[in-house]
Amino acid sequence: MMTQLPAFAASPIVLDHPLIQHKLTHLRKAETSTAGFRRLVRELSLLMCYEATRDLPLEKVEITTPLEPTTGMQLAGPDVCFISILRAGNGLLDGMLDLVPFAPVGHIGLYRDPNTLEAVEYYLKLPTQIASRRCVVVDPMLATGHSAAAALTRLKQEGAKRLLFVCLLSTPQGIACLKEQHPDVPVITCAIDPTLDEHGYIRPGLGDAGDRLFSTK
């Protein structure tokens, strides 16, 4: 895995840890059940959160162990929040909140117009102090990049200054879209799949992440 999360990243950070790649392979399988899919997404999100929060600031704190006083390190203030792109982004929240249970959570609702493939916003609810927080934006798929770019643009309009985009799968097209529109936003992904089909689905991909998470069609 990566050793340091850069403040600026023109290229995506691809997490190639063996556990991540193993779980991603099972996530892709058509025969994986809804329960199994949810479990794997949760496990992957926990591992991804570990990397996404690698450079959170720390401060010294004086504590007492059962044996003696000592100095430890703790997170320096309420620095991070998670922003889910509805609806599939919610599948990534559970594992991340397992690691950072005190983090505020925001939601941005976007759907993809089936004809233009452009993102249309229908919901927005964000934590307070978004301008001073590290905003980890989560969505399982970075396909065309239109939804992710629209979400990041909207968050910047609301005052967000430190943004990070985290996804399970991405494509060269989606990465290029974010690089063009938001070159200041690092991208963390588990894999870069080679192409999109005519419907905007990632190939080979894993199907529709939202449908597989919530057992819908």
Residue 116 annotated to the active site: yes
126: alpha, beta or left? (left if phi > 0; alpha if psi -120 to 50) = beta
Q: Which two structure tokens, joined as six digits, stand for 103?
A: 């983090």
Burial of 39 (0-12, 13-18, 19+ CB in 10 A): middle
Question: Residue 159 annotated as binding?
Answer: no
Residue 162 known to bind ligand? no
Catalytic one of 116, 134, 184, 195 = 116
Q: Which residues pair with 82 in a beta bridge?
A: 105, 136
In the residue annotation, 98 being an active-site residue is answered as no
Angle at 44 between CA 161 and CA 72, to 5 degrees: 65
The annotation status of 202 as a binding-site residue, yes or no, is yes
203 is in an annotated binding site: no
Does 208 participate in catalysis according to the annotation? yes
Of the candidates 212, 170, 162, the one whose C-alpha atom is nearest the C-alpha of residue 52 is 162
The β-bridge relationship of strands 119-125 and 105-112 is: antiparallel
**Residue 199 assigned to a binding site:** no
Which of 39, 94, 154, 208 is an active site residue? 208
Is 144 assigned to a binding site? yes
**Residue 192 annotated as binding?**
no
Answer whether 74's CB lies under 8 Å from 61's CB: yes
188 is in an annotated binding site: no
Query: Does 57 appear as a known binding residue?
Result: no
User: Which of 39, 112, 154, 162 is an active site residue?
Assistant: 112
Q: Is 194 annotated as a binding residue?
A: no
**Which residues are part of a known binding site for uracil?**
202, 207-209
Q: Which residues are catalytic?
A: 112, 116, 208, 211
**Which residues are part of a known binding site?**
87, 112, 139-147, 202, 207-209
**Which residues are part of a known binding site for 5-phospho-alpha-D-ribose 1-diphosphate?**
87, 112, 139-147, 208
